[in-house]
Copies of this chain bind each other. A is one copy, B any other.
Amino acid sequence: MATLKDVARLAGVSVKTVSNVVNGYEFVKPDNRRRVEEALATTGYRPNIGARNLRRGRTGSLALVLPELSIPYFGEMAGLVLEAAGEHEWNVLIEQTLGTRDRERSTLAALGPHMIDAAIVSPEALHARDFDQLDPGIPVVMLGEHSVDVPIDHVGIDNVLAATVATSHLVELGRRRIAAIGAHPYRGTATQRLDGYRAALTAAGLPLRHEYIVQALNYHRRDGADAMAHLLSLPEPPDAVFCFNDLLAIGALRAAAEHGVSVPRDVAVVGFDNNEESAYSMPSLTTIAPDKAAIAHSAVDLIRRRININGGQNLAPEDVQTPFSLEIRESTR
């Protein structure tokens, strides 16, 4: 593999002149520039990024920390973050935490300032004090989850509002026994979505019935199916269900079908996330559709802001709210 030295020898100039040509430095004599460019071409020179970064003190990589790539929402988000980061010539190193606090913590701790310039974290089980682990010099943006006590940049939609919109939609359909699937003991977004659900019911003058609020410790399809089966076994089953993500909703659709309950006639279902699969489920799924591309771009922008503005240490943490919409499909039609 050719190095600057090799190219310099071939072109008959110093190493630094080659470096200057490679980096687009202005003041190089046309004659030398030509010879260097020829030498670059014949050697097929490619800069050693590692060495460059060692010298420059940055790495050119971002870390993207998320629970699991096999979960559609995170797969889609990861793809968009890759694209957004690529526009600024960042490589992306993806780390999976599998949603456990242990792995989230150790990943945060292992994120040496040497491997990456910044991190985008989609936490699931982190506590506020876990962020102490993190090197203070490295900017972090949190996606989705919004741990209030941590002074860290954050991007996401207004979960309370979105949940209210979703629940109100069910109210407007004339449903009166509206359940929620996805309550969670300490997941922040779950709490916010539950708040929005409650707010919508209260605004509509509907009672809050605790038996209509079902926990889900994981947000997989199976959990949604189990929760729905439970709801349908109640003496007075709901006539609508708001699920805190699309996977839960997909599971709920299946459980409904297996119980011979028609969606949306007997039970209307709303999801959250707008996974690609939700447009094709049977029936297709009404869902809250966050603007995922906007989330990805905002996250990258927040990082650029902290990196470019001298250290960005004493910038106040920002909280960017990205738009969302309610995508109405067959499951509530």
Contact = CB atoms under 8 A, between A and B. Distances in A.
A280 B250 contact: yes
A333 B48 CA distance: 57
A282 B93 CA distance: 36
Contacts of A70: 72, 75-76, 79, 276
A78 B69 contact: yes
Contacts of A82: 69, 94-96
A46 B91 contact: no
Contact of A280 (B69, B79, B254): B254
Given A76-B69, A83-B96, A46 B253 contact: no
Tally of this chain's copies? 2
A114 B49 contact: yes
Contacts of A68: 79
A137 B51 CA distance: 18
Interface string A226-256: 0000000000000000000000001101100
Interface in A52-81: 53-54, 59, 61, 68-72, 74-76, 78-79
A317 to B, nearest CB: 22
A22 to B, nearest CB: 13
A1 interface: yes
Determine the interface band of chain A, counting residues with CB < 8 A from chain B: 35 or more
A274 B215 CA distance: 28
A76 B51 CA distance: 34
A93 B91 contact: yes
A50 B54 contact: yes
A257 interface: yes
A254 B282 contact: yes
Nearest to A46: B112
Q: Most chain-B CB neighbours within 10 Å: which of A250, A251, A284? A: A250
Nearest to A60: B115
A257 B280 CA distance: 11
A69 B225 CA distance: 26
Given A76-B69, A114-B46, A257 B282 contact: yes
Interface in A263-279: 276-277, 279
Given A94-B94, A96-B83, A251 B280 contact: yes
A282 B280 contact: no
Contacts of A211: none
Contacts of A253: 280, 282
Most chain B beta carbons < 10 A, residue from A46, A135, A225: A46
Contact of A277 (B137, B277, B284): B277
7 contacts: A1-B114, A51-B54, A69-B82, A70-B79, A92-B93, A253-B280, A281-B282
Interchain residue pairs A-B with the least CB separation, the first 6? A75-B75, A282-B282, A69-B79, A70-B76, A48-B114, A46-B112
